[in-house]
Amino acid sequence: MASKVKTGKSGKGFVPLLIFIGICSVVAPPTMIVLAGGMIPTLVATILNPSRIKGSLAAMAALNLAGVIPVLGFLWERGHTIDQSIRLLTDPFMWLFMFGGAGFAAFLLWGVPIVVQAFYEVKARQTVKRFEKRRAKLIEEWGGQIIEDSKMQRSVKTARK
């Protein structure tokens, strides 16, 4: 259900994009050619989008676009023609720009969660250590019976529920 809703939403998001593509294809075909070539990683990511997490697509699109924008700058600077756009697309450095952004996005999407998780784990381990210290202190003060009694209290509570 959720995926359907998501799909519906993304379907709605595509309409202005298609209108934009349609208008741009008429008004600025060279730009559209560069964009069509340069934004392939985003397109692929949109189609695959393994994690279905909004942020990942946004990150991919943003960094991909960040790589495409300088290429568009070159296009508009050297002449906004279809020839120029094809020439630029034949330049591997331009592809490096455009796909490099996407690649960096992919790296970020892979690496940042790992770093965050590592941080979470360290924090959790410290908290557990603190709780275990408190637990040992309680046992030391009140004896091992407290383990049984707390279990009993929990089971009584569960039974009441």
Partner 1 sequence: MVAKSNNSGEKQPRSNKDAGVLRNRYKILLQNPVPIMDSGYNRAYKVEDLRDPSSQVFALISEAGVPFRDELAEKLTAKSAPGMVELHSHGVVQFDEGDFRYAFVFDFPSEGRVFTNQTGPLTEQEVLGKVVPRVIDTIIDMAGRGLSHRAIRADNLFYMDEGKLGMVLGECVSMPGGSLQPAIYEPLESANAHPFGRGDGNVMSDIYALGVLVCHLLGGVVPGEGRSQGDLYAAKLQQGSYAVLVPKIPASARTGFLLAGLLNDDPSRRWNIEVLKRWREGVYERPRPGFGDRRAPGPLVFEDVEYVSPRLLALALAKRPSQAFALLENGKLESWVRNSLNDKDAGMSINEIVSRANGTKRGLRRNEVQAISRVSAILDHQGAIWYRDVTFGRRGLNTLLAFAVKEGGAMKNNMAELIESNLLIDIIYSDLNKRKNDKRKEESWLKLGLATDCVEYLEKRDHLGYGLERCLYELNPSVSCQSTALGGAYVSDITDFLQILEYKALKAEGKINPFDRHSSAFVAARTKSLAKNFQKLATLNKESVDYTLTLLGIFSRMQNLSNPGPMPGLCMWVGKAITPLINKIHSELRREFVKSKYEKVKETGNIEKILQAIDIKNNLNRDEREYEQAIRAFAVVEHNIGVLGNGAEGRKFEAQKYGQWIASLLSISTLLSSMGLSYLYFY
Per-residue exposure over 51-60, b if at least 16 CB sit within 10 Å of its own CB, e if not: eeeeebbebb
Least distance in Å: CB of 46 to partner 1? 14
Nearer to partner 1, 10 or 127 (CB): 127
Are the C-beta atoms of 39 and 68 separated by less than 8 Å?
A: yes
Measured CA to CA, the distance from residue 63 to residue 95 in angstroms comes to 14
Least distance in Å: CB of 14 to partner 1? 20
Least distance in Å: CB of 37 to partner 1? 17
Measured CA to CA, the distance from residue 56 to residue 39 in angstroms comes to 15
Are the C-beta atoms of 57 and 45 separated by less than 8 Å?
A: yes
Residues that bind partner 1 (CB under 8 A): 51, 53-56, 58-63, 65-67, 69-70, 72-74, 76-77, 101, 104-105, 108-109, 111-117, 119-121, 124, 127-128, 131-132, 134-135, 138, 140-143, 145-147, 149-150, 153-154
Are the C-beta atoms of 14 and 46 separated by less than 8 Å?
A: no
Nearer to partner 1, 22 or 93 (CB): 93
Return the closest-CA partner of residue 64 out of 103, 116, 93, 6. Answer: 103
Are the C-beta atoms of 63 and 102 separated by less than 8 Å?
A: yes
Least distance in Å: CB of 83 to partner 1? 19
Residue that is written with structure tokens 């290429």 in the block? 71
Nearer to partner 1, 9 or 154 (CB): 154
Least distance in Å: CB of 130 to partner 1? 9
Nearer to partner 1, 83 or 140 (CB): 140
Nearer to partner 1, 34 or 59 (CB): 59
